[in-house]
Amino acid sequence: MTIQQKKQRLSTVLATILFGIMTFGVLMSPNWFRQFDIFFQQLIQHRGTFTTLFFTYITQAGNMTAIIVVSVIVSIFLAYKHCYRELLFLSVNIIFSAGIITQVLKHMITRVRPQPQLIQESGYSFPSGHSMAAILLYGSLIILINYHLKPSLFKTASVIVLTSLIIIIPISRVYVNVHYPSDILAGLSLGYVLLFISKYFIFDLKSATGVLHDSHK
């Protein structure tokens, strides 16, 4: 096992623990957990005309329409290039992880969203679907870019933009007050775990056994 793989596994374990802590906090609602949410809500929700316009706009990059459009475009490209393992990787992360798992957890935990909201959102709050979708979609794209593109300015710029979306979209959900900070951390941590589980089984495990996709030669 390489040092990179060890770091990846450690970070996945830590993310799993973080998700567990957030879930415990929502279910048991201890005082420290409520204070945690209040502190970061007050920290993020310093509103002005520009920031409200910016976060109201950027939060749309994590909604269902944006996720579907980007996923379809990337899927068509991958199918055209005969990158079927990559297509499977993206499909598992978007349909199963960001779609099914998110909704199952929301309906199991049934946390009510904060009020009042800057933009109208329905459904339950925990975990944040936008945060999970952001890290699963844009994180998948980062992994695919790292697999297939050689070092270049375009590659670096692409990774920076995608990473920025993974960070800014969750923050925007707290800013517009449709999620608590703990919803965001839960969505990001669980999304991270699911992302690297799918990466392990679809890419790393097969690579370790010597079964390599032609596109990775």
* Mean pLDDT value of segment 158-186: 96
**How many whole angstroms from its chain centre is CA 217?**
29
Q: Which DSSP letter does residue 127 get?
A: S
In residues, how long is the chain?
A: 217
Residue from 217, 191, 210 nearest 92 by CA: 191
Count H helices and E strands in the chain, helices first. 10, 0
State the average pLDDT for the chain: 91
Q: How many domains does the chain divide into?
A: 1
Return the SS3 of 115. coil
Q: List, by residue number, the catalytic residues.
A: 130, 179
Host domain of residue 180: 3-216
pTM score of the predicted model: 0.90
Report the alpha-carbon distance of residue 25 to residue 40 in Å, rounded. 15
Percent of the chain with pLDDT over 90: 82
Residue from 183, 186, 159, 164 nearest 173 by CA: 183
**Which pLDDT score is estimated for 215?**
44
* Mean pLDDT value of segment 183-201: 96
How does residue 207 score in pLDDT terms, banded at 50, 70 and 90?
A: low
* Dihedral Cα 49, 166, 95, 128, nearest 10 deg: -60
Q: Give the Å distances, CA to CA, from 162 to 12, 63, 64, 127, 201.
A: 20, 15, 17, 21, 23
